[in-house]
Amino acid sequence: MTTGFTESEERRALREAVRALAGKYGHGYIQERSRRGEKITELWTDMGSHGFLGVNIAEEYGGGGGGIGDLAAVLEEAAAAGAPMLLMVVSPAICGSIIGRYGTPDQKSRWLPGIADGSFTMAFAITEADAGSNSHKITTTAARDGDGWVLNGQKTFISGVDEAEAVLVVARTADERTGRLKPCLFVVPTDAAGFTRTPIPMTMQMPEKQFTLFLDDVHLPSQALVGDEDGGLVQLFAGLNPERIMGAALSNGMARYALDKAVAYARDRSVWRDAPIGAHQGIAHPLAKVKIELEQSRLLQQKAAALYDEGDDIGAGEYANMAKYAAGEVACTATDVAVHTHGGNGLTEEYGLANMLLAARLGRIAPVSREMILNFVAMHTLGLPKSY
Ligand SMILES: Cc1cc2nc3c(=O)[nH]c(=O)nc-3n(C[C@H](O)[C@H](O)[C@H](O)COP(=O)(O)OP(=O)(O)OC[C@H]3O[C@@H](n4cnc5c(N)ncnc54)[C@H](O)[C@@H]3O)c2cc1C
């Protein structure tokens, strides 16, 4: 819980505990694993067994009984300690929130305890190549198949499918291909017949891989449908607002890591007289500017999470978008300033900052692009006409 602008003692203790644990792994661990194309399984398992991955999940299903503000604090601290964990955005935040709100008691007992302790990872698939930012155009279909369902379609850029036991797939009912978006959510096991994946070669190095998914006549039992068939966007947004808040937390954590590293270097590195480079305003001011923008961005993250945790989905939608925007921007600025502060060292593998330029860039594109957020704020907050 957050009161005003000060976080509760409990939240601060949570942050400290996560920072201590994630700091034991740190950026060197992530970098090494990414370079070798390996997973961060030990870190994920360790975070799960300490209860950090499930802080937002109800206690009766093995979680900490907190909110998305707590989970965002966990991710922000891990990223600030140099260990960003992309799949936290997906498994406990999107899938855990949707199943926690709309799952049946059976579905909750089946999936939530594993999501909470990290032993069961669920990826999330909405993006399609021909739809992109326009999710209204998705064509993955779900048709009735006796008591169950049969799914057909393709998804792209889906993170972590190789380390997930299941994927929460957004599909639409077969008879509404050209109508309004009527999303339905299905839990598809990654070993289901007809479900295949192809890795997408990405330039940025990170432990989590992205995949194109093919669903060819994937037969699912009736219990695979999460929520109501006619529940529509409301159910989806129970997961997409947490996704945006967590995206903000990831970017803010990354920006903190880059800023800390740059400040330490600026204090230490000296090339003129005895003064460190941080004595030059050309170096100090960009760092100070990042600090201010970062604190603005963290306030938006805090507000968005507080609104979501209070059950104000409409308010949370507006602030989650703004928080994601601000965090994506500050992460890009912070990593760029950090690289520049390090001079040539900023581009070396040893200092590990150059790859972060790409990782930070992701925060401007996914899960919703900067332009789509500006469209949202222009239309919904400012009441301007729709431009697309
Ligand atoms: C590393 C990574 C991980 C991802 N993980 C997942 C995942 O796990 N699950 C999942 O479902 N998806 C995932 N995605 C997909 C991600 O959500 C999309 O890439 C994102 O939503 C943008 O869609 P797009 O790439 O098709 O871009 P496009 O929609 O093609 O947009 C291209 C550009 O055009 C701009 N644009 C589009 N429409 C407008 C408009 N109306 N006005 C102004 N500008 C516009 C966009 O802002 C963007 O700059 C991931 C992507 C990446 C890169």
Q: Ligand 1 mean position to 196 CA, how many Å? A: 22
The closest of 52, 382, 48, 45 to 249, measured between CA atoms, is 52
Cβ atoms of 324 and 330 within 8 Å: the answer is no
Per-residue tokens: 299: 């306030």
Q: Whose CA is nearest to atom 28 of ligand 1?
A: 132
For ligand 1, what atom is nearest to the CA of residue 129? 26
Which residues share a beta bridge with 169?
125, 186
**88 φ, ψ (degrees, to nearest 5):** -65, -30
CA distance 115 to 180: 32
Residue nearest to atom 38 of ligand 1 (CA): 133
Using the atom order of ligand 1, give the atom closest to the CA of residue 132. Answer: 26
The CA 321 to ligand 1 mean position distance, Å, reads: 14
Structure tokens, 246: 């967590």
Nearest CA to ligand 1 atom 25: 132
CA 269 – CA 358 distance, rounded (Å): 25
d(C-alpha 158, C-alpha 208), whole Å: 10
* Separation CA 341–CA 189 (nearest Å): 46
> Distance from the CA of 105 to the center of ligand 1, in angstroms?
34
Task: For residue 190, give the DSSP letter.
Answer: T
Residues with CB under 6 A from ligand 1: 90, 124-127, 132-133, 157-159, 210, 362, 365-369, 371-372, 375, 388
pLDDT values of the chain reduced to their tens digit, one per residue, 388 residues: 555 788 999 999 999 999 999 999 999 999 999 999 999 999 999 999 999 999 999 999 999 999 999 999 999 999 999 999 999 999 999 999 999 999 999 999 999 999 999 999 999 999 999 999 999 899 999 999 999 999 999 999 999 999 999 999 999 985 555 556 688 999 999 999 999 999 999 999 999 999 999 999 999 999 999 999 888 788 888 999 999 999 999 999 999 999 999 999 999 999 998 899 999 999 999 999 999 999 999 999 999 999 999 999 999 999 999 999 999 999 999 999 999 999 999 999 999 999 999 999 999 999 999 999 999 999 999 999 998 9
Token pair 């460190």 in the structure block, residue: 276
State in Å: Cα 289 to ligand 1 middle: 28
